[in-house]
Amino acid sequence: MRGPDGFTESMFTVLKLDDFVPKDHPLRPIRTWLNDALKRMDDVFARMYEADAKGGRPSIAPEKLVRALLLQVLYSVRSERMLVEQISYNMLFRWFVGLPMDGTVWDHSTFSKNRDRLLEHDVLVLLFNETVETARERGYLSGEHFSVDGTLIQAWAGHKSFVPKASPDEDDTPPDEPPAPNDNWHGQKRSNETHQSTTDEQARLFRKSKGTGAMLCYMGHVLTDNRHGLVVNTQVTLATGTAGFVANCRANRVTPHVAQNDGRPGGSAIDERTTRWPGYAVSQQKRKRIEQVFGWGKTVGRIRQAMYRGLERVDQLFVLTQVGYNLTRMRTLAG
């Protein structure tokens, strides 16, 4: 018998948000570990609002903001406006954030107003450290063998904003012609010493290798533990490309297991002093796990092109992305 096409809502319901989330949903362990980490950070959140404790309306709980920002990474939500829209009607998002079914969702501008506060108190850095501590307590870290690598993060700025430092207002770039990778439209060489982006002053023009175009970007670095590929340290720097990694490692009595680059002028910095040991071959296999970190961050996360300007805010996004990766990776290991 065909059922009626009707829509009748009950005046009351006894269901809770938790009833709508499957018991084996992958967000359940992530939410548990995240809430435990946020509880340990309670003193930090208290200090954030000490100046506002004497009066005024209660603010949005910082724990809810952090959970929402993590959801944005885990579910590849493009903007904070879209994130707020999802929280308003997505019961899974409401459950994860800790917002009741009839709770009012805050305005998207709340994230912008609180981002500097989160940055000032290093909230996301502390949260990242707590996830690393959770991984250590669960026995997922070896603490002995590590891999380090970097990736380019495209800045939220275009080539047309990269103009001479002395006279940024005199740029007469033809609007309909694409820029060449390294030359402006007057045939003059462009470099970070003579030019600067008017959109993001800290972004740097960087070419990854010969045959590829230069782009305005930052450089993200991660240190992973080789046991399960979990990130244990992370940082974003200006894309200068001037670090002598192998020489610096040896100066600090660290053996660098870097892949040999025989095509490098003057030969590879890695020779038989390193490659003759059995551990070198093992490291070349393990280092593939660090590529998974970057792949996840650029396909699921939001670090392919950071929609923020300035080194500090790009670093904040990068750290949050590594928090999401670690929690997702630990969920897989726990399963």
Residue 97: pLDDT band with limits 50, 70, 90? very high
Rounded Cα gap, residues 30 and 120, in angstroms: 26
pTM: 0.84
The per-residue b/e assignment along 260-293, b for 16 or more CB within 10 angstroms, e otherwise, is eeeeeeeeebbeeebeeeeebeebeebbebbeeb
Taking residue 58's Cβ as centre, other Cβ atoms within 10 Å add up to 7
What digits encode the pLDDT tens for the residues 6-41?
Answer: 777 777 777 888 989 999 999 999 999 999 999 999
Q: How far is CA 197 from CA 112, 126, 165, 241, 308, in A?
A: 23, 31, 9, 18, 14
Domain segments of the chain: what residues? 17-121, 143-158+199-310
Identify the top-confidence range among 1-15, 50-64, 135-149: 135-149
Rounded Cα gap, residues 196 and 241, in angstroms: 17
Which pLDDT score, from 0 to 100, does residue 279 have? 78
Average pLDDT on 220-232 reads 93
Q: Which residue has the higher pLDDT, 141 or 3?
A: 141
What digits encode the pLDDT tens for the residues 306-328?
Answer: 999 999 999 999 999 999 999 99
Whether 189 shows a pLDDT value over 70: the answer reads yes
Which residue, 268, 323, 330, is CA-closest to 129? 323
What digits encode the pLDDT tens for the residues 263-289?
Answer: 666 667 777 777 888 878 877 777 788
**H runs (alpha helix) in the chain:** 17-20, 27-40, 42-48, 62-74, 80-89, 91-97, 109-120, 123-137, 245-251, 272-275, 278-286, 288-299, 311-334
Rounded Cα gap, residues 133 and 321, in angstroms: 17
Average pLDDT on 83-99 reads 94
For 42, list phi and psi in degrees, rounded to 5: -60, -40
Rounded Cα gap, residues 148 and 253, in angstroms: 16
Which pLDDT score, from 0 to 100, does residue 85 have? 95
Which pLDDT score, from 0 to 100, does residue 16 have? 87
Whether 185 shows a pLDDT value over 50: the answer reads no
Which pLDDT score, from 0 to 100, does residue 181 have? 47
Q: Which residue has the higher pLDDT, 10 or 195?
A: 195
